[in-house]
Structure 1
Amino acid sequence: MGKPTLADLQAFMVVAARRSFSQAAGELGVSRSALSHAMRGLENDLAVRLLHRTTRSVSLTEAGERLLARLRPVLGDLDRALEDVAHDDQALRGTLRINGSEGAIRQLLQTVVPRFLAMYPQMELDLVSEGRFVDIVAEGFDAGVRLGEAVHKDMIAVRISENLRFLAVASPRYLRKHGRPTVPEELQAHRCIRQRLPGGKRYRWEFERHGQAVTIDPPGALTLDSNTLMVEAALDGLGIAYVPESYARDALARKRLVAVLSEWCPEIPGLFLYSPGNRHIPAGLRAFIDLLRSGAG
């Protein structure tokens, strides 16, 4: 059995997180063929197969899963040692990876990101925006940003926005033609612009008033997967959309859209940055959180 190098073990961790040689190679700054060759060498050194390879994807074998589980704490200790040295030198270095929805990442870009990059020029921010709710640990992220109600209780969470609410909106032209619903159940007689969630399911509209909760699976011939597109469709008079208020605020102010059922649309907890509560917080993430808490963004 050969002796694996630290670089090969770290590369294996990246491949395991990305489940893709192409993505991992891009992150590591090497060619796909060089990375594949390195992983073959690692498997030869350990005399065990670690990865299942297909033309489009990579998955871990049982041995690969065991190695990954053992490497995480070991390399985590190494990362912490290096971060402590960097912190003592007052010069944070490394990459901070954060996952969130497009709206969540936009919130960070408009607040804390500019100041963080100015204060820590040797840090690199890798912000990934996507609609699906990912396992940030399994996919190699340091933190995620989601609505407070979607964050698990075992996470450390820091608020990054005020409370928000979803609103049902429609164009004045649509309402003149089809009437205005006064209770959620009346939506069943309307054309609704439905939303497809990243997992494939359609979003069910949730309303509440005086403790009475109503969930509607809205009817409609149009389904979209973007809040921005849903607002545009509502502006075109194609139906009633149910979107975060921030997406419709400009059109509402210009009276190009009208909110309906507003009394059935209470506020919900806003956006939170979260990270695992049972893991060491990297120095870069600590600095990012400190800026969030201080309101420095």
Structure 2
Amino acid sequence: MKITHQSKGSDLSAFAAFLAVAAHRSFRNAAVELDITPSAISHSIKMLEQRLKVRLFNRTTRSVSLTEAGERLAARLGPAMTSIEDALLEMEVNRGSPGGTVRINASEGAVRLVMKPVLARFLHEYPQVHLDIVSDGRLSDIVADGFDAGIRLAEAVPKDMIAVPVVKQVRFAVIASPAYFERQGRPDVPQDLLRHDCIRFRFESGAIYRWEFERRGVTERINVNGPLTLTDQPLMVEAAMDGVGIAFVPDHLAMDGLRDGRLERVLEDWCPAFPGLCLYYSGHRHVSSGLSALIRMLTE
């Protein structure tokens, strides 16, 4: 499948569309990454297949997979497109003014803690940079999913990534409303939580988080029960304020309620601080001027 001198300028966008679909195995997810419509992605792939006179994908109503020819093309195109992107990013750096799109993947809690405090200032100082922030609870593969960087607990950053600490420590808090504690009493040790109404957290994988505690070298993991399970930690805080039960969340999410008395904290001596959050990125890719500027601001 030799690309001749007759290739059109639109080939680069077609190749980018092809690689995005190959990475995601989904036309819809590839469209989200490239910020175009799924129909535009489909048309681009169709035109590429017609020009190359070969089928690149096997499509069904439920799945998308590469053909043998598609696998070969992806293996050859991937490094070439990376080299092109890196060359363009180097031009950005040489131009001196950060620009372009910076795609970040992080949980909602990490976005609130790390990104929210600097968003307005960063966009004011670097008006040519577009931040594309995707909040989800998955441990996303940032390279495969087309992100420039991610934000994650330090202990969960993949070993082959470059990690930049942006929050030194994180601490969880066991919280509930004063009315709940007055009605149901206060837990003195983690095992007491088994007798309480707890607001559980579900990961996007479907797994329920077991609450983890530690004191003087003793570790407790409690599989709590309760009337409510959520995937949204800020909503867990609101439910605790409303007296639904006890929540276990990063303490920065509960600070407003703790300050004004809508929430109270228990088991504090069982909730030690642990290594915080890192912004991380691939060491095999050129760091864009926009991402470099963001890292500088986050680490000030």
The answer to whether TM tops 0.5 is yes
Partner residue of 1:127? 133
Distance 2:283 2:223 in 1: 35
Equivalent of 2:14 in 1, 5, 8: 8
Q: Does 1:157 align with 2:150?
A: no
Partner residue of 1:241? 247
Q: Does 1:254 align with 2:260?
A: yes
Structure 1: gaps (5+ residues): none
Partner residue of 1:196? 202
Equivalent of 2:75 in 66, 69, 75: 69
Name the stretch that deviates more: 223-232 or 85-94. Answer: 85-94
Distance 1:60 1:113 in 2: 39
Q: Does 1:277 align with 2:287?
A: no
Partner residue of 2:55? 49
Identity %: 53
Superposition RMSD in Å? 2.3
Structure 2: gaps (5+ residues): none
Q: After TM superposition, give the deviation of residue 46 of structure 1 in Å.
A: 3.5
AA aligned to 2:255 is R
1:131-174 superposed Cα distances (whole Å, 9 cap, x missing partner): 21111111111110112122122211112224121111122222
AA aligned to 1:68 is A
TM-score for both structures, normalised by structure 2:
0.88
2:199–2:227 Cα contact (<8 Å) kept: yes
Name the stretch that deviates more: 36-45 or 260-269. Answer: 36-45
Partner residue of 1:229? 235
Q: After TM superposition, give the deviation of residue 182 of structure 1 in Å.
A: 1.0
Pair 109,39 (structure 1): closer, same or farther in 2 beyond 3 Å: same
AA aligned to 1:132 is R
1:231–1:248 Cα contact (<8 Å) kept: yes
AA aligned to 1:260 is V
AA aligned to 1:137 is V
Q: After TM superposition, give the deviation of residue 179 of structure 1 in Å.
A: 1.8
1:215-264 superposed Cα distances (whole Å, 9 cap, x missing partner): 11112232122112212222222221111111211111122221111100
Distance 1:219 1:290 in 2: 43
Distance 1:26 1:165 in 2: 34
Q: Secondary structure at the match of 1:174?
A: helix
Distance 1:20 1:168 in 2: 40
Runs of 4+ in 1 over 6 A off after TM superposition: none
Partner residue of 1:166? 172
1:36-78 superposed Cα distances (whole Å, 9 cap, x missing partner): 2321232233343322323465443454344333322211111
Q: Does 1:286 align with 2:295?
A: no
1:176-210 superposed Cα distances (whole Å, 9 cap, x missing partner): 22221111111112221111111101110000001
Equivalent of 2:226 in 220, 231, 236: 220
Q: After TM superposition, give the deviation of residue 99 of structure 1 in Å.
A: 0.6
Distance 1:229 1:30 in 2: 31
Name the stretch that deviates more: 267-276 or 15-24. Answer: 15-24
2:114–2:298 Cα contact (<8 Å) kept: no
Equivalent of 1:114 in 117, 120, 123: 120
Pair 107,220 (structure 1): closer, same or farther in 2 beyond 3 Å: closer
Equivalent of 2:96 in 87, 90, 94: 90
Q: After TM superposition, give the deviation of residue 26 of structure 1 in Å.
A: 5.8
Partner residue of 2:191? 185
AA aligned to 1:185 is Q
AA aligned to 1:95 is T
Equivalent pairs, count? 294
Distance 1:95 1:200 in 2: 32
Partner residue of 1:100? 106
